[in-house]
């Protein structure tokens, strides 16, 4: 896992905080579907409702693809939040677009991949958010099983968990993110989305999200 650039990471974090796509509540934590308590909730789908933020994110993801995956022949979005982001990028780059369901459709052709399947086509996978990387890498495996050549993945934001780093390393897949939790924290403090006294708790959560606040 790596960032596109430190400057872009800070800029994207500010925009996500400004539009409340990232919310920080260390004193009233959110509960994730996994049961983990979390001081952060990140919903990058909100960026789609803000043209300036949406365009900035699209342009920077296009930059990522041109720099790190210049041989891309197609864009693949991961359902559901990666679909609109991927479609915007594919349109901007004039490339074919497909998307990957979390599981095969239960009727009709029972597709897991929607769009034209072209074996050997070099694709870049688009995600809005990477946590552990499990669902993202499941989509990658589905693409590979259908004959696509997956060059790598680009995402808007990652929490930077060690388990995610290990999962992508084990999968031998390159992941480039626009921003991450570490880049977001100073922006949150600087712009008064969190206080200095919150900083230790916020930092501790990323190190051990499964045990944070369980005592």
Domain count for the chain: 1
What SS3 class is residue 143?
helix
Find all residues with CB under 8 Å of 123, minimum gap 6, and list them.
72, 73, 74, 75, 76, 98, 143, 148, 149, 150, 151
- Top pLDDT among 108 and 70 is at 70
For residue 201, is it within any domain?
no
d(CA 181, CA 161): 9
Q: Residue 155: which H helix or E strand, with range? A: strand 149-158
d(CA 123, CA 72): 5
For residue 208, is it within any domain?
no
For residue 210, is it within any domain?
no
135 labeled part of a ligand binding site: yes
Confidence of residue 87 (pLDDT cuts 50, 70, 90): very high
**pLDDT recorded at residue 111:** 72
Q: Taking residues 154-162, what's their average pLDDT?
A: 95
127 labeled part of a ligand binding site: yes
132 labeled part of a ligand binding site: yes
Q: Taking residues 198-215, what's their average pLDDT?
A: 82
Task: Look up the CATH number of the domain holding residue 142.
Answer: 3.40.50.2020
Find all residues with CB under 8 Å of 35, minimum gap 6, and list them.
none
175 labeled part of a ligand binding site: no
pTM of the model: 0.92
The token pair at 85 is: 């982001």
- DSSP assignment of 161-199 equals -HHHHHHHHHHT--EEEEEEHHHHHHHHHHTTSS-GGGH
State which residues form the domain around 143: 2-195
118 labeled part of a ligand binding site: no
**pLDDT recorded at residue 200:** 87
105 labeled part of a ligand binding site: yes
130 labeled part of a ligand binding site: yes
Judge whether 169 and 70 are in contact, CB under 8 Å: no
131 labeled part of a ligand binding site: yes
Judge whether 165 and 173 are in contact, CB under 8 Å: no
**pLDDT recorded at residue 207:** 83
């Amino acid at each position: 896992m790596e960032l596109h650039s430190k400057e872009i990471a800070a800029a994207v974090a500010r925009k996500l905080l400004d539009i409340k796509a990232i919310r920080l509540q260390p004193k009233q934590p959110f509960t994730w579907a996994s049961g983990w308590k979390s001081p952060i909730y990140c919903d990058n789908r909100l960026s789609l409702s803000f043209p300036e933020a949406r365009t900035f994110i699209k342009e920077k993801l296009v930059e990522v693809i041109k720099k790190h995956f210049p041989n891309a022949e197609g864009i693949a979005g991961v359902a559901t939040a990666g679909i609109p982001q991927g479609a915007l990028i594919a349109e901007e780059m004039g490339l074919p677009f497909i998307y990957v369901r979390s599981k095969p459709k239960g009727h009709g052709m029972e597709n897991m991949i929607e769009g034209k399947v072209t074996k050997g086509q070099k694709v870049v996978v688009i995600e809005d958010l990477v946590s552990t990387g499990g669902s993202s890498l499941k989509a990658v495996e589905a693409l590979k099983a259908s004959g696509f050549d997956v060059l790598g993945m680009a995402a808007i934001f990652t929490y930077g968990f060690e388990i995610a780093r290990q999962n992508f390393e084990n999968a031998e897949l390159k992941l480039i993110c626009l921003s991450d939790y570490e880049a977001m924290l100073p922006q949150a403090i600087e712009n008064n989305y969190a206080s200095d006294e919150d900083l230790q708790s916020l930092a501790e959560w990323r190190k051990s999200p499964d045990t944070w606040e369980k005592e």
